[in-house]
Amino acid sequence: MFGFKRRKFNNRGVLDLSGSKRGSLLGITCAGKHDGGGAQVHAVMSALLFSRATKVPYFHSPFRSVPHGDQPEAFANRWEAAFNLGLGSPGLPEGVPVITGETFNNGYRGAPAIVAEPHFHGFAEGKLDLYATLADEFRARLALPRRTFATATIAVHVRRGDIVGDPAYAMRLTGNDIVLRNIQRVQRDHPRHRVVIFSEGVEADFQPLAGICEFELYSDVFATISGLIEADCLIMAKSSLSYVAGLLSRGSVYYEPFWHGPLPSWRVLPKAR
């Protein structure tokens, strides 16, 4: 099985705010991503973290298109409504220049502009502890299906679906043997918790997990992420959806090494080999 290295984000979202340059910056926005909903939510969270840390105003650009739905534009609207990341923030004002971070850092001296980047992970990865200070604010915005569990629960997110059988996504796949090892590790800390697998497929795909786990397969994605957030304990997948759930969880979070780094409070699982 493959290991996973932290990604270097090429300083995307790291703006030079020294000296007179700051006067040329009206604010920032997060726009231009076209991948999954979890990745787009995480991108906007990174922009909000940048804004709070630097006091640079944030202007909200709504999600335009999210794949994996029958109608990507309508699906984007559902993600926008579910996370409400634009709550309390203005939209882009008319007539204001919108430039890239590279243009700004390379000596932009025009009228005060808004920097638009697809994410601000280059900045956020150096200040991951700040996500914890924003968690209550992010949670207060949520409009996800309400989930509760009658007994203490370990939620295990297992990425399957579009990555199965695709060599390009081989590093994103966690095999059942590693999932089982991770569950057994977490059960040492939480021996009385039930275990629920959140994934896609059929139970027969998850041998030898079927004997020790319950399954929630092919649920609505918003019900799934709500379940991951509300569980007493979360075992993450190598997935932006998992990462967002980890940022919003109040429970114990177990992190499988991924290209985004772990928060200081998360417990890091052994790397797959």
| Chain segment 79-125, per-residue pLDDT in tens | 999 999 999 999 999 999 999 999 999 989 899 999 999 999 999 99
Clarify whether residues 122 and 60 are in a common domain.
yes
The verdict on residue 231 lying in a domain is yes
CATH of the domain at 227: 3.40.50.11350
Place of tokens 């695709």: 166
Residue 201 vs residues 114, 119, 210: alpha-carbon distances, Å: 44, 31, 13
Are the C-beta atoms of residues 197 and 158 closer than 8 Å to each other? yes
Clarify whether residues 112 and 164 are in a common domain.
no
Q: What is the extent of the structural domain holding 50?
A: 19-141
Q: Which of 80, 114, 141 is the last residue of a domain?
A: 141
Provide the mean pLDDT of the chain: 90
The per-residue pLDDT for 170 is 46
Per DSSP, the residues of 142-205 read --PPP---SS-EEEEE---GGGTT-GGGGGG---HHHHHHHHHHHHHH-TT-EEEEEESS-GGG
Clarify whether residues 86 and 158 are in a common domain.
no
The per-residue pLDDT for 171 is 60
Q: Which of 121, 141, 161 is the last residue of a domain?
A: 141
The verdict on residue 175 lying in a domain is yes
The per-residue pLDDT for 161 is 56
**How many structural domains is the chain composed of?**
2
Residue 257 vs residues 54, 65, 123, 247, 248: alpha-carbon distances, Å: 28, 28, 19, 15, 18
Average of per-residue pLDDT across 177-185? 94
Clarify whether residues 23 and 136 are in a common domain.
yes
Of these ranges, 2-6, 85-89, 105-109, 237-241, the one predicted with the greatest mean pLDDT is 85-89
Pairing of strands 214-217, 233-235: unpaired
| Chain segment 42-84, per-residue pLDDT in tens | 999 999 999 999 999 999 999 999 987 679 999 999 999 999 9
The per-residue pLDDT for 63 is 96
Q: State yes or no: pLDDT of 5 exceeds 70.
A: no
Clarify whether residues 29 and 71 are in a common domain.
yes
The verdict on residue 232 lying in a domain is yes
Eight-class DSSP state of 58: B
The verdict on residue 260 lying in a domain is yes
116-125, 175-184, 246-255: least confidently modelled range: 175-184
Q: Which of 93, 116, 141 is the last residue of a domain?
A: 141
The verdict on residue 3 lying in a domain is no
Clarify whether residues 115 and 180 are in a common domain.
no
Clarify whether residues 136 and 218 are in a common domain.
no
Residue 144 vs residues 110, 228, 248: alpha-carbon distances, Å: 42, 12, 12
Query: What's the CA gap between 84 and 78, in Å, rounded?
Result: 10
Clarify whether residues 113 and 224 are in a common domain.
no
What is the SS3 assignment for 96?
coil
Clarify whether residues 230 and 187 are in a common domain.
yes
The per-residue pLDDT for 172 is 58
Query: What's the CA gap between 61 and 193, in Å, rounded?
Result: 41
The verdict on residue 179 lying in a domain is yes
Average of per-residue pLDDT across 195-220? 90
Query: What's the CA gap between 26 and 28, in Å, rounded?
Result: 7
The per-residue pLDDT for 90 is 98
Residue 270 vs residues 104, 152, 246, 265: alpha-carbon distances, Å: 40, 24, 17, 16
Clarify whether residues 136 and 194 are in a common domain.
no
The per-residue pLDDT for 141 is 97
The verdict on residue 6 lying in a domain is no
Clarify whether residues 100 and 181 are in a common domain.
no
The verdict on residue 11 lying in a domain is no
**Closest to 46 (Cα-Cα) out of 73, 17, 90, 11:** 11
Residue scoring higher pLDDT (161 or 132): 132
Clarify whether residues 137 and 157 are in a common domain.
no
